[in-house]
């Protein structure tokens, strides 16, 4: 299985290419949708890496793919500007998932 990057900036793509991960840079809603369709059609791709901006800007597209496809796994990664998440996002995520405060 391969990983594939869909990024909103060339710097992230360049860094991932140095690590051996191919990808594409897209900026708009339709470009993202087409890139996802192309990636979903390639059965060798097991993980799609997306920059966090897409999760915030186009959550409906990302959620649709996550809900309707078992594979590939979609992982949101920070871009060169860092993460937009709060420092305790993992603890908050676990608290919401299990309904208990840790």
Class (C level, CATH) for 2-98: alpha beta
- For the entire predicted model, the pTM comes to 0.73
If pLDDT is split at 50, 70 and 90, which confidence band does 34 have? very high
Q: Are 1 and 47 in contact (CB under 8 A)?
A: yes
Show the tokens assigned to 20: 């051996």
pLDDT tens sequence across 78-87: 766 556 666 6
Q: Are 65 and 74 in contact (CB under 8 A)?
A: yes
| Domain boundaries defined on the chain | 2-98
């Amino acid at each position: 299985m391969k990983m594939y990057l869909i990024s909103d900036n060339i710097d992230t793509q360049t860094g991932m290419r140095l690590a051996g991960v191919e990808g594409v840079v897209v900026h708009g809603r339709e470009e993202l949708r087409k890139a996802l369709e192309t990636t979903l059609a390639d059965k060798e791709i097991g993980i799609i890496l997306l920059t966090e901006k897409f999760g915030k800007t186009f959550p409906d597209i990302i959620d649709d793919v996550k809900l309707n496809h078992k594979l590939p796994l979609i992982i949101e990664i920070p871009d060169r500007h860092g993460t937009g998440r709060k420092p305790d996002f993992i603890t908050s995520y676990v608290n919401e998932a299990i309904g208990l405060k840790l």
